[in-house]
A and B are shown apart, each in its own frame.
Chain A
């Protein structure tokens, strides 16, 4: 599955990192880094991460 984060919306709150820690992380500067394509076995985690984003900045495509 493909993941896109709208970096104009993202405020680097890091809530996604709790739901999908192998996909999303905050770097040393507190900025979001993420993998743009992950295995479908992580779908539940990525869906949960998108759900908890306060800015609703995470988009998912098959």
Chain B
């Protein structure tokens, strides 16, 4: 039996490995020309110039997976059990949806700035970040802040602008966001926060308050959009990704289909019964392995069993600061439990009387106990 995996990122790789390991024939369709590679270094080590894409490839456990790279899936019929890449039709018995996300663009006039998502994006940006270059980063999330830190270390002049009031405010909260802003400012980054972009220009942007920002390079890092268009016409719930159950079986179809990684929206009983889509690095591996088991069961005529309770985790390095998180900080209220906001610290995020997430700054080892504790009650 043949399984098609649409998406050749980390989630697609882990699902493909799981299914090949169970004896299925596996084809992976990916839009990028590259075999699966690790993206986090693209805003850090690779941007500094140290690591090429060849050095970022994941280890592959099977050499008999059929990789079809360089062209995105353009359509799918679950009734006919087929995926389309332009005019080519690829039939399947089981399908893994792992097509991930792409960077969002602001709907404003002017030339669309470059983004940072792929290895090729990183290569192009790297060539332009020479010492003295004026860089304007639009967006103050993790990618925007990491690019800002890296660009400062490369000797660029860096301005960050964002609609949010503080950097990384949604995952970190206002207090820790403000502290991170102060760290960036101490390293020479300027901020224009709490104001949107009205228009892009070849040499910068005009903000909604009329401020004209001039730069040699503009980069847009304002979040992401799930790649669901190829699934249209199958009556799936494609509201913010692909709706799936706790074991990642896609809802609303009798066909054997699972969703993994950044595109999957599913409930995690560690927290509650609300389906969520979470873009943390560790989840493509967790969901890829679990979805592989689920799809394998479905294809063998078995009922998938188990209880999937992955712990979301993320990491971010900016200057000499290592941020690390477990759980879902964005769902709670920040409480400083150790250290100082302005320095090394541990911040718990509380919902009701429960710690639902934690963030540490330079406190990796102290954070490890939370990986078991959060949501275990």
Give the one of A18, A50, A54 with max B CB within 10 A: A54
Q: Which residue of A is nearest B14, CB measured?
A: A51
Q: Does A30 contact B (CB under 8 A)?
A: yes
Instruction: Decide if B365 touches A14 in the complex (CB within 8 Å).
Output: yes
A26→B367 CA distance, assembly (Å):
12
0/1 string, A1-30, CB within 8 A of B gives 1: 000000000011111011000000010001
Determine the chain B residues whose CB is within 8 A of the CB of A13 once the complex forms.
315, 324, 364
Instruction: Decide if B364 touches A14 in the complex (CB within 8 Å).
Output: yes
Instruction: Decide if B285 touches A54 in the complex (CB within 8 Å).
Output: no
Interface residues of A in 44-60 (CB under 8 A from B): 47, 50-52, 54, 56, 59-60
Q: How many A-B residue pairs have CB under 8 A?
A: 37
Determine the chain A residues whose CB is within 8 A of the CB of B317 once the complex forms.
11
Q: Does B59 contact A (CB under 8 A)?
A: yes
Q: How far is the CB of A5 from chain B (nearest CB, A)?
A: 13
A4→B82 CA distance, assembly (Å):
42
A11→B315 CA distance, assembly (Å):
10
Instruction: Decide if B285 touches A51 in the complex (CB within 8 Å).
Output: yes
Determine the chain B residues whose CB is within 8 A of the CB of A59 once the complex forms.
59
Task: Name the prevailing secondary structure of the B interface residues.
Answer: mixed
Instruction: Decide if A26 touches B315 in the complex (CB within 8 Å).
Output: no
Determine the chain B residues whose CB is within 8 A of the CB of A50 once the complex forms.
59
A12→B315 CA distance, assembly (Å):
11
Of the four ranges (under 10, 10 to 19, 20 to 34, 35 or more), the interface on chain B belongs to 10 to 19
Name the contact of B282 in the complex, choosing from A11, A17, A52 (C-beta under 8 A). A52
Instruction: Decide if B282 touches A54 in the complex (CB within 8 Å).
Output: yes
Q: How far is the CB of A29 from chain B (nearest CB, A)?
A: 8
With A18-B371, A26-B365, A54-B281 already in contact, the answer to whether A47 and B61 are too (CB < 8 A) is: yes
Instruction: Decide if A26 touches B40 in the complex (CB within 8 Å).
Output: no
Determine the chain B residues whose CB is within 8 A of the CB of A60 once the complex forms.
59
Instruction: Decide if A30 touches B285 in the complex (CB within 8 Å).
Output: no
Instruction: Decide if B364 touches A30 in the complex (CB within 8 Å).
Output: yes
0/1 string, B67-107, CB within 8 A of A gives 1: 00000000000000000000000000000000000000000
Determine the chain A residues whose CB is within 8 A of the CB of B40 once the complex forms.
54
0/1 string, B366-377, CB within 8 A of A gives 1: 001001000000
Give the one of A12, A15, A60 with max B CB within 10 A: A15
Show 27 A/B contacts (Cβ-Cβ < 8 Å), sorted by A. A11-B315, A11-B317, A11-B322, A11-B364, A12-B364, A13-B315, A13-B324, A13-B364, A14-B365, A14-B368, A17-B368, A18-B371, A26-B364, A26-B368, A30-B365, A47-B61, A50-B59, A51-B14, A51-B285, A52-B282, A54-B40, A54-B281, A54-B282, A54-B315, A56-B38, A56-B58, A56-B59
The 4 closest A-B pairs by CB, nearest first: A30-B365, A26-B365, A56-B38, A54-B315
B contacts, CB < 8 Å to A: 14, 38, 40, 56, 58-59, 61, 281-282, 285, 313, 315, 317, 322, 324, 364-365, 368, 371
Q: A14-B365, A56-B58 are in contact. List 11 more A-B contacts (CB 8 A).
A: A11-B322, A13-B315, A15-B313, A17-B368, A51-B14, A51-B285, A52-B285, A54-B281, A56-B56, A56-B59, A59-B59
